[in-house]
Amino acid sequence: MPAISFTCERTPMREYTASARFTTSPVWVEYFAEQLAGRDPTEIERNWALCYQGARFPIGSSGLAALSAIDVSLWDITGKALDKPVYELLGGRVRDKIRAPW
């Protein structure tokens, strides 16, 4: 498995709450990228814990938003490496069909 390498885009992610709108700084993504560079992307839980627990200060909602985006990316990378859809990595299909309101 190739090691992790990141490209951080300068497009801010938007996070909305009931009272205010916050901009997630790409600085968080760059900060986490420094910690993950060279690591195995298939060790998703270990990489997540490294970022979350290894932060030098509380990451707050903006840091969690960035970490969430990285987490989704790691699942996608792992799925592509194993040639499997992510839902199979997460335990497989639960239902054959669902009821829709329309």
Q: For the beta carbon of residue 23, count every other beta carbon within 10 angstroms.
A: 11
Q: Which residues does residue 22 pair with via DSSP β-bridges, in sequence order? A: 15
Query: What digits encode the pLDDT tens for the residues 71-91?
Result: 998 999 999 999 999 999 989
Amino acid making up residue 100: A
Q: 13-89 — its CATH code?
A: 3.30.390.10
Q: For the beta carbon of residue 98, count every other beta carbon within 10 angstroms.
A: 6
Q: In the chain, where are the structural domains located?
A: 13-89
Query: What digits encode the pLDDT tens for the residues 25-65?
Result: 688 888 888 889 899 999 999 999 999 998 877 888 888 88
Amino acid making up residue 36: L
Residues 6 or more apart whose Cβ sits within 8 Å of residue 13? 23, 24, 65, 66, 69
